[in-house]
A and B are shown apart, each in its own frame.
Chain A
Amino acid sequence: ETGVTQSPTHLIKTRGQQVTLRCSSQSGHNTVSWYQQALGQGPQFIFQYYREEENGRGNFPPRFSGLQFPNYSSELNVNALELDDSALYLCASSFLRQGVSDEQFFGPGTRLTVL
């Protein structure tokens, strides 16, 4: 086990709703990255948080937003849900040092279904 936890494990929402996903990073890590994995695809980078600030963002619209807390845990918020947001959402915890990240350890993911 990596020590990275995510909640909830599964979630069903309807179009237009908002969702918050949570991630607790591994002890000693200071960075959380979020990825979206659609069925049959590899994970796609959404954004990364370091020291409570966004530290890089992938090609996702502004309705995808996040937070990092002083204990390095993180939230991913998605507003105005669309059917295509249905995916496995993974968070990855790592230690960032001098701008370079060590190995990223993934949590078990949250499976979001949008109806």
Chain B
Amino acid sequence: RKEVEQDPGPFNVPEGATVAFNCTYSNSASQSFFWYRQDCRKEPKLLMSVYSSGNEDGRFTAQLNRASQYISLLIRDSKLSDSATYLCVVNVKGYNKLIFGAGTRLAVHP
């Protein structure tokens, strides 16, 4: 079983749609949680950290459920510029390595 698993995608949605990405992690010692965005042939960039209380940044909302070991990302009012691969990432307590999921590709079309 992979340490971080994500929806395989791709997600093809029209502009303005709401899209949700799900992610599960296997290590209960996971301490920090993130969503990264990666554009084609570019490096990953931090989109947002994920907190137990849930957090929102404009059109983006992230949720964490530690009991279920589940992380989600909701994108509202999708824009063409949101097209990218979204990577779910965890950091296990005591380690300083980031553990990435395989990513979910999002394509927003006009």
Contact = CB atoms under 8 A, between A and B. Distances in A.
B96 to A, nearest CB: 4
Contact-size category for B: 20 to 34
A80 to B, nearest CB: 24
Contacts of B103: 41-42
B57 to A, nearest CB: 15
For the complex, would chain A's binding face be called helix, strand, loop or mixed by DSSP majority? strand
A72 interface: no
A58 B92 CA distance: 13
Interface residues of A, number: 28
A96 interface: yes
A80 B10 CA distance: 35
Interface of A: 2, 31, 33, 35, 40-45, 48, 55-56, 58, 90, 92, 94, 96, 99-101, 103-104, 106-109, 111
